[in-house]
Each structure stands twice: as C-alpha cells, then as structure tokens.
Copies of this chain bind each other. A is one copy, B any other.
Amino acid sequence: MTTKQNIEEGTEFIPKFDDNGLITVIAQDEKTGQILMVAYMNRQALDLTIQTGYATYFSRSRQKLWKKGEESGHLQKVRKILVDCDQDCLVLKVTVDSGQCHVGYQSCFYRALKDNTNNSLEFIEKKVYCPKETYGK
C-alpha cells in the first residue's frame, strides 16, 4: 500500500502523474544552479530520460515526446533526478551548452517583475544565440 509515509519518507520512487498523465519537471544547471526551464513528462518520457541519460519531455502543445535539443542541438545531459516530498515534481540537474530557451536566452527565465510594479517586466539576461539561425533552417 502506498501511504503518505512511504511517499514522503521512503526510498521507493513513485512519481505521481496528474490527470493528464504528466509530471512537472524543472531543469536546473548543475554547475550554476540557474533554473533553465519547466516542462512536463509522461511515464514514457521519464523512462527514456532515465534510460538514455538525456532529457526527453512530453510536449503539451504538440502532444508528443520531445527530446530536448533534437532540433536545436541544445541537449540536456542529466546528472541527477531529484523528487519532492509528495513525488509530484522533479528537478533534473543537467549539464548544458549555451542557449537553452527557444527565444535565444540561456534560460527561459530571462525577465523579472520590476520593483514596485505589478505588471511591468525588465529583461535580466542577454540573448546568447539567434533563434532564427538555429530554427530557421
């Protein structure tokens, strides 16, 4: 039986997929600690990630498996897979090259809410590559 105790304090990996069969996954640069992106995995994507050592996600918009970097070349080599207390979220500690976001930045989190506003963003990163050259081929 899977109890709260097993899930939170045990050593059995029992990832909890949501009603759509997905689990939330955060990719974090192992070296710098920077959060690169958030995506989703189904069971198959998770199994492929564990088997191959490279991150494979499930694209909700395209409704199919998506090996990160299959088009751009910006793969994510998985060094460690962490799971949270209720096992419904994963952190991948990854080794990456430059440019993980499709918009051209190293991280998808390249903007921050400006201080003392509730609707205005400021850019906190510079682009590290040109997406048109990478994806426009």
Contacts and interface: CB of A to CB of B under 8 A. Distances in A.
Chain A, interface SS category: mixed
Interface of A: 8-13, 24, 26, 28, 32-35, 37-38, 47, 50-51, 80-85, 89, 91, 101-103, 105, 108-113, 117-124
B38 A24 contact: yes
Given A11-B121, A26-B26, 9 more contacts: A9-B103, A13-B117, A26-B38, A33-B34, A37-B84, A82-B112, A83-B109, A84-B108, A85-B101
23 contacts: A10-B121, A11-B111, A11-B120, A11-B121, A13-B121, A24-B38, A26-B26, A26-B35, A26-B38, A33-B34, A35-B35, A50-B113, A50-B118, A82-B109, A82-B112, A83-B112, A83-B121, A84-B109, A85-B103, A85-B105, A85-B108, A85-B110, A91-B109
Contact of A84 (B32, B38, B51, B117): B38
Contacts of A112: 80-83
A119 B35 CA distance: 25
> How many copies of this chain are found per oligomer?
2
Contacts of A105: 85
